[in-house]
Amino acid sequence: MNENFMKEKPVLPLILSMSLPMVLSMMVNSLYNIVDSFFVAQISEDAMTALSLVYPVQNFINAIAIGFGVGMNAVIALHLGAGDEKKANMAATIGTVLSMVHAVILTIAGIAIMPGFLRMFTSSETVIDLGIRYSTIVFLFTTAIMLGLVFEKVFQAVGAMKVTMVGLTCGCVANIILDPVMIFGLGPFPAMGIEGAALATGLGQVLSLVIYIGVYVMRPIRVKIRKEYAVPEKWMVLRLYSIGIPATLNLALPSLLISALNAILAAFSEVYILVLGIYYKLQTFLYLPANGFVQGMRPLIGFNYGAGEKGRVRQIYRIVLFMSGIIMIFGTLICLAVPGPLIGLFTHSQETIQAGESALRIISAGFVVSAVSVTSSGALEGLGKGVPSLVISLFRYVLIIIPAAFLLSRIFGAAGVWNAFWIAELVTALVAYGVYRKAAK
């Protein structure tokens, strides 16, 4: 394969070849999120509420894994674009070692904090017990998550998107198959309830990791993870964290947002906490496919920026922005047309369905403009500019939406929280475009 295809192949076919495998795998991942929650909802509404409350911590751990992986991806792609394979190998190897350290710390911390964390949002001992049982098993698979993300981002950095598509898709399909088997007890398997959902999730992640390692060993790629590159060079560690930390915070900020909104909504009814949890499951159908285009874009932008091809960088950004916008238009139409049936996938309560219908219609007003923020943030990460990307996420997840939700809820109740979403997306889109234009000059 031509090692310089990222800067020589026509831009549109290049983006499609890099992004479509990731979009497909993200759509399967979205389906898994929906199916997983659907089966958990069949256990009880308390089980679904427990999942909603665990989600912010689970998302935070995933954010660290993905965010640091994004840092690795950007540094590897930049060095490959500049023709320095030794530094690319060093970034991959040192990044792998640091990811393992993160995994050990997060496994211990995640399990330890969950009882106290859950009690911050509910007094139901049933919900707390379900949340602890689910999260303990899920967090024991943190090492598999971290290693899987390392290989995923290394493969993406060299343009091997089909490998990550196969790994992610096989893991998600395994989850989908194992969910009903382990939750309800089919064939030789005992009925494990919510623990079965957690175990199915973990085993799917292990399968993805096994596939990545198998491909890496049998079909060597341009980037090598080797003991001789594991020298902890201070400048390389700092560079990985300089991109990885802002990328992690970008991904972790939704956890802060969800926890803050749960605290606001808890003052009205636990029904709204459940609605918020359902919304965050449903929105993966939009934001994960859009993220597929962003994942395809990152190494392309990094490689071309490292190679001095700034005209191609601008062209890549514009095409991905357009594609993300199309996805968001489709999502808006769906949420306006059939919000009730969407919410009804996760609950049989008419009160919850009615509250969810109203929430989806209001929140969806901000989907289309959010494409600007999503694309700009991803492009900046690909350029190795983590701090400007973090500024966009701070506006999107903290600086606008949390104060707006708090103030509007005092006037309009729970509806004020839903309106804060589109207000934050509109303001952030304006900020994001300005930040990207300035940083990309």
- Among candidates 413, 135, 394, which has minimal Cα distance to 246? 394
- 45 HSE (CA, 13 A, CB side): 16
| Alpha-carbon distances, residue 155 vs 70, 112, 238 (angstroms) | 12, 33, 22
Given a cut of 60, is residue 312 above it in pLDDT? yes
Output 387 or 132, whichever has higher pLDDT: 132
**Do the domain assignments include residue 235?**
yes
Number of domains observed in the structure of the chain: 1
Given a cut of 70, is residue 3 above it in pLDDT? no
**Do the domain assignments include residue 4?**
no
The amino acid at residue 306 is G
- Residue 411, judged by CB atoms within 10 A of its CB (0-12, 13-18, 19+), counts as exposed
pLDDT tens digits for range 108-146: 999 999 999 999 888 889 999 999 999 999 999 999 988
- Among candidates 119, 22, 28, which has minimal Cα distance to 66? 22
**Do the domain assignments include residue 381?**
yes
364 DSSP assignment: G
Q: Left (φ > 0), alpha (ψ -120 to 50) or beta: where does 226 sit?
A: beta
Given a cut of 80, is residue 435 above it in pLDDT? yes
pLDDT tens digits for range 347-369: 888 999 999 999 999 999 999 99
190 DSSP assignment: P
For the chain, the farthest-separated pair of C-alpha atoms sits apart, in whole angstroms, at 61
- Among candidates 32, 29, 37, 26, which has minimal Cα distance to 275? 37
The answer to whether 330 touches 385, Cβ cutoff 8 Å, is: no
The answer to whether 294 touches 336, Cβ cutoff 8 Å, is: no
Per the structure, the complete domain to which residue 170 belongs is given by: 9-439
The amino acid at residue 287 is Y
The pLDDT assigned to 6 comes to 65
Given a cut of 60, is residue 1 above it in pLDDT? no
Cα(191)–Cα(247) distance, rounded to whole angstroms? 39
Given a cut of 80, is residue 440 above it in pLDDT? no
- Among candidates 322, 405, 306, 313, which has minimal Cα distance to 363? 405
Predicted confidence band of residue 7 (pLDDT cuts 50, 70, 90): low
pLDDT tens digits for range 55-94: 888 888 888 888 888 888 888 878 887 778 888 888 888 8
State the Cα torsion 281-283-289-290 to the nearest 10°: -140
Predicted confidence band of residue 299 (pLDDT cuts 50, 70, 90): confident
Three-state SS for 191-237 is CCCHHHHHHHHHHHHHHHHHHHHHHHHHCCCCCCCCHHHCCCCHHHH
| Residue keyed to tokens 């491909």 | 215
- Among candidates 438, 432, 421, 427, which has minimal Cα distance to 391? 432
**Do the domain assignments include residue 254?**
yes
**Do the domain assignments include residue 39?**
yes
Average pLDDT of the chain is 87
**Do the domain assignments include residue 1?**
no
The answer to whether 386 touches 246, Cβ cutoff 8 Å, is: yes
- N-to-C CA span, the chain: 32
